[in-house]
Chains A and B, each alone.
Chain A
């Protein structure tokens, strides 16, 4: 891993991830027999087509935490899915012994909500990646790094932490006040976050077909032109949507209302799993 300036690539990206503002978060290129994931001004990851080797080429200003985060939250899940795993973009907490996944577009508040639920005693499993494994007919959610990467306002809400000087997000480690789960938990439900243009807390069950359309938006795919793998991935997502109840979750994005949101979620899911 040696730092170097990102030079313009001769190839045209075959796929891109965009931020909600329309900026490029990542580009996917083919370079000979390898793939290249470029995170503009942060790092390039060269991935051998057989996944046997991954080389990180960070930009000079990129620190190790950022590289670790890019790898854990973007590169690793993409490679895993290419190899047949099921990784999705989302956070998760444990409520009543079951994992509740929170999925949604960037900046919709996945990590903030996971943190708020943890603060209320529901340990967080993951802040950005849902690593799912199928165990018989049940899906297990594996714990990820026990940290929450959050913007300054969320850091202040969760931990009274001042804004970080390094980058846009700061990291808050799991603690007694903000517990992290250290063991896998069975996936009990998937919550798909709405846009927040609402004044109440709304939790509505979705049919599997509608849920699948939404879940597909939060997937990690290395090669969108590899039809065999894309088809197999779609098959896995369809099986997930058939097996796990999915809900549309929406609420006003207001820190003052978060305790109300947390209570509504806990009532909905803790009650289900504890038979209240």
Chain B
């Protein structure tokens, strides 16, 4: 934990290799095997996780995928993606893509 950075639309991330995800009761739960951190995601958060699981994607890409799939406003989708990415990054569950 402790990664704090202001995330911008062009930033890219990928899931941490230490994290496993399972669907439980319609939600996605994450467990960081490195430190035991447990994290629950709602269905939209779970979908965002799926976009990042084993893939490197930018906020722009995820926003586009999300707004298409859920037919939601792109501005709101980007805000949601940035908020979740900030949370996941702070908990060490995703990592910034290597330059």
Chain A residues engaging chain B, CB cutoff 8 angstroms: 207-210, 212-213, 216, 224, 227, 230-231, 234-235, 238, 241-242
Contact = CB atoms under 8 A, between A and B. Distances in A.
Contacts of B20: 231, 234
Given A227-B33, A230-B33, A231-B33, A242 B40 contact: no
B38 A216 contact: yes
B37 to A, nearest CB: 11
A222 to B, nearest CB: 15
* Centre residue among B24, B33, B38 by max chain A CB count within 10 A: B24
Nearest to A210: B40
B24 A208 contact: yes
Nearest to B39: A213
Interface in B21-63: 22, 24-25, 27, 29, 31, 33, 36, 38, 40
A241 B25 contact: yes
Main SS at interface, chain A:
helix
Main SS at interface, chain B:
strand
B29 A238 contact: yes
Contacts of B40: 209-210, 213
Interface of B: 18, 20, 22, 24-25, 27, 29, 31, 33, 36, 38, 40
A162 B9 CA distance: 69
Contacts of B36: 224
B42 to A, nearest CB: 9
Contacts of A241: 24-25
Contacts of A234: 20, 22, 31
B93 to A, nearest CB: 15
Contacts of B25: 207-209, 241-242
Nearest to B17: A227
B36 to A, nearest CB: 7
* Centre residue among A210, A212, A224, A227 by max chain B CB count within 10 A: A212
Contact of B29 (A212, A224, A227, A230): A212
Given A209-B24, A212-B29, A235-B22, 17 more contacts: A208-B24, A208-B25, A209-B27, A209-B29, A209-B40, A212-B24, A213-B29, A216-B31, A216-B38, A224-B36, A227-B33, A230-B33, A231-B20, A231-B33, A234-B22, A234-B31, A238-B22
